[in-house]
Structure 1
Amino acid sequence: MHRQTIAAQVIPDGDALQEFIDALRDYVPSMERNIAQLRSSPDNKELINSLFRTLHNVKGDAAMCRVDLAVAIVHPLETVLDRVRHGSLPFTDQLADVVLLTIDRLELAVASVSSGEELDGLALLPLVNGLERLALAGPANLDDSAAQLIEAVTGFRSASALSVRIVDLASPASARSTAQTDDDLFFFRTLADRLDARSPRFQGRTMRVLRLALETNQIAGYPIDPVQLEAAVCMHDVGMMFLAESTWLKAGALTRAEKAGLRAHPTYAAGLLARMPGWSEAAEMVAQHHEMPDGKGYPAALAAAGICPGAKLLSIIDAFDAIMLRHGEHGRNRSILRAIAEINACDKQFAPQWIECFNRVIRRSVEAR
């Protein structure tokens, strides 16, 4: 039945589809965060249940909005995670890769349907077929089945199969309960949404930056705690709201006094994070995300060695999105080319080791489209 739905590719109602896409955009960061934490704590029942519930909500919203394609993709994965939840399958790194791949293909699929593009290049049938086989797999052959699925869909072995280093998430935030962390992150995202709402140009900006940051961190082998990184992305520009809107929404050149005021915004948001238990790493990223390796950044004019990895990454992605907004009138593909060219040309402004990983994320995004 689900394979027939994939093959038929029935186009749902446009408004209902957009409603589902908006809901999915809210669900994805939570699922990615759960997966990142489960890599470190695969037996954590609270995390497994949280991931299962979110995926179940995705399927429920898809059914309510009559996006049958999404239901067909999610249903077999939900069956797999239900087995994990009840202890008949382990949560492994290979399975984590499968969940991330499925989420990624789901987002690409509904975006393609929304824009009237073909779905042939997404290999959705091999994905669903592989998920259905995975739902029937035993613990002993789970990883082999997962690796085969990933290779069938992408043409490559998964990162876990190639023994890529996985991050150790033993940070102050991950040591707290999942509920406490989720409450804080919800608050951070609420503030970010309020900031994004101040201008039509910024709509969706936080989620765009977050997706690029998490994917670049993943490709690099998770040197940054994803939970701390998510908090930093959500909060990095919240300090702007303490400035006059006439300054940070100004279309023309800023005066010297306006520039001085604008340069204070990282310290405001970092100060908020630093006063909340468990978010010191995120506070450091926010405070430093406008510093530059050559020491010409702000607010502290730090040199490369004094800037934390998260701030170096956030600096690149923040600049990339700003360039995309500036050149948006040229169309998405031309804007991406211009933005990535500008980023790669600024060898003194950005950390080279992160530019390489970021380039791979952008290349993958362009190829997927």
Structure 2
Amino acid sequence: MGQFACKDFSALDQELKDDLLECYIEAQQEIEAIVNDIESSGFSHEKLDNLFRSLHSMKGNCSVCFLDPLVDALHRLEEIVDGMRGGYIAYDSLLGELINLVLDKILHLLRQLHQYHGADTALLNLLQSYLDKIYAEDDHQGRIRYAEAFFAKINDDEAVEEEKAKQEPESLLVKVTFDEAQQQDIEHFRQLSHRLNKLLGYSPERGERILKLSLLINQECSDPVDKAQLSAAAYMHNMGMAMILKCAEDEAAKQRAERNHPMVGAQLLSKHPGWDQASEMVITYKERFDGSGYPEGLVGGMIPQGAFILSMAVRFIDVVWGKSGDEYKKSAMRAIQKVNSESGKGIPPHLVDAFNRAVRKLLVAKRR
């Protein structure tokens, strides 16, 4: 799939990009409410003027943030709405649906640029092509036919995506092969993880979720780490947090236990022969690419790749599922932002890219 980028947009502060996305969604909801009001209560030029103002504001916000390809698509839609205001394009329920669908697809492109710094060129071209045809068509029935053809094309593309999604789940389950000794240790590590997470107030399934995401991120890396070692690290990474249970109300002791827990977990792992790589991942998973982490303040290549993978998986799962993990919270976007904001700071950029590819697969599967 070809992609286009908006490099100046990607270079903006994360807070500004977050604000833009929020403003776009608010304007989109305003426009959808106006279209629904027209359908339920009847057409009026005042309603259409309000719709145009919201659309124009949306376009202006995108222009300020260097989203020129999206501005071009919004301008084409704006021309159609302006034609309705001028009376030379007749408002029609189908065109109202078209407005909502186009804005929804532009939001999809905006989210791709916001998350992944690249968006679907084919979708952008499709939007621009049909909006040009509808605007240039003089005959009302001709416009309706173009709108219907646009809906059909979008539905066909979504059907293709759904078919792809049906094939995705198999790739979400990464097979790991253990030898006999490793299998016994892994079962032991799994039980320890299950018990400790319950004691700490997390879902007992937290370790499994972190493991599955770690393996999926690893699969997206150009040079993946040993899957068995990563599995052990995923189960054992927070074993040192058991020390917090002994701290009662002593906040200073809790802080020391938090800071030392990677070393404690690594020491526990080191008592089992053959898990040296896993132990290294655990002791360094709180280190940061820029050297500002703990417990040793390691920097860059001194930190094993598996530690970064584990760190991203833990961060994502704990934001999305929360502490109890009783239900999936609608905070995947915040979790994605949290990881992406660490690119080049806490996590090497190429590993954040691997994370994004992995989470994209998860979101496709969840949507299905």
Say which structure, 1 or 2, has more relative contact order (CA 8 Å, 6+ apart): 2
When normalised by structure 2's length, the TM-score is 0.49
Q: Which has the larger radius of gyration?
A: 2
